[in-house]
Amino acid sequence: MIPYYGLILWTGILYGGIKHVRLKDKKKTFVCLAFLSTVLLQSLRAEYVGGDMVQYLRGYTASARGGWLDPVFNFELIFRILIHTLAVFHVPRQGFIAIMSVLCQAPVFYFFYKRAKNPCLSILIYFTFGLFTFSFSGIRQMIAIGLFLLAVLQAEDEQWLKFTALILLAAMFHKSALIGIVVWPLSKIKVKNHIVHFLMLGAFIVEIFMAPAIIQVAATLFDSYNTIQFTGAYACFLLYALIWFISSLLIRCDAPWNLYINCMYLAAAIQCLGLYHMNIGRVGYYFAFFECLLIPEMIEKTTRSRELKLMLYVGCVAFCLLYFYKNTGWGYLGVSPYVLFWK
C-alpha cells in the first residue's frame, strides 16, 4: 500500500509546490505531472498486480500468433486490433502494460484539466474511491470510461455527432459503454429539488422489483450476468446516493452541473441493481466518475466561512484515505501488495 499512499502524498506536494511557482498555466502543469506520476506507478508494476492483467497478457501473447481480426478471448474488435498492432511491432510485455496505462489515464486527466475546479481534490477522490484501483484490472472498460468522458465534453458543447462517434468507439473497447448514450437525454433533464425523494424512491423500487428482469436482459448482452449474486455493496450505493442527494440540494442545476448530478443519480440507481450482481455495479462506473467533480463543488457551496471550508476539506481527505484503506488494503482487484516488475 505504501506506493499508493506515496503517489497520493506526491500529488499533494506537487499541487502545493506549483501554487507557489510562477507559471503561465499552473493547472495544466499540475495535471500533466500528476498524470505522468500515475502512469509511471502503473507502468512499473509486476504483471500480476491487477486482477485481470495476467489474462490481458495471455490475450496479447495469443494475438501475436493470430491475425488482425482473429478472436482473442472475449475482447472487442478495436481492442483486438490494438493489441495485435502492438504484437506486430514486438512491444515487450512491460511496454504493453505501460501503453495500457497511458490509454486508461490520459482521457481521465484531460477531463480533470478541462472541468475540475479543484484538480488536487478531484484527483485524490479518483485515486481513493475505486476507479483508479479498477484501472489496474479492468483495462478495456477503463479505456471505454475515458472515451465516455471525452464524449461528455462533446455533449456539453452539443456536438452530438462527435458524442455519438465517441460512444460507439468506446463500445468497441467494452460493450457496456453503450449505456453512455443516455447522457443525451440526461443533459436535457432539469432536476428539481422537490422531486428528490420521489427519485430516490424510484431507485429503491427498481432495486426491489426490477433487478431480476434487468439482469436477465443484461444476460443477453454479457454472458457473465446470467445469475443473481447478492454482493452486499451497501457502502458504495449509500455513498453514490448521498453524493447525489446533497449535490442536488447545494449545487444550482446549471450546465454542466445538471448533467453531472443526473449522472450521479444514475450511478446510485445502477448500484441498487449492483447489490444483486457485481458486474451490473460496474456499469455504474461510467457515471460514478462525476463524484470527483461534485464533492469539491459541494464543499465550496456549503459555506462561505474559510475555517469551516478548511475543516470540510480536511475531513474529506481523511475520509478518502480511510475509504481507500478499507476497500483496497485487503487486496481488492489484486492491487495490493504493489510489486515492481523487476522483483
Contacts (Cβ under 8 Å, ≥6 apart) of 314 = none
Specify the pLDDT at position 77.
85
Contacts (Cβ under 8 Å, ≥6 apart) of 112 = 31, 119, 122, 123, 126, 292
Sequence spans of domains, the chain: 1-178+320-343, 189-302
Specify the pLDDT at position 17.
92
Specify the pLDDT at position 76.
86
Task: Tally DSSP H helices, then E strands, for the chain.
Answer: 18, 0
Specify the pLDDT at position 195.
65
Low-confidence stretches of the chain (pLDDT beneath 50): 231
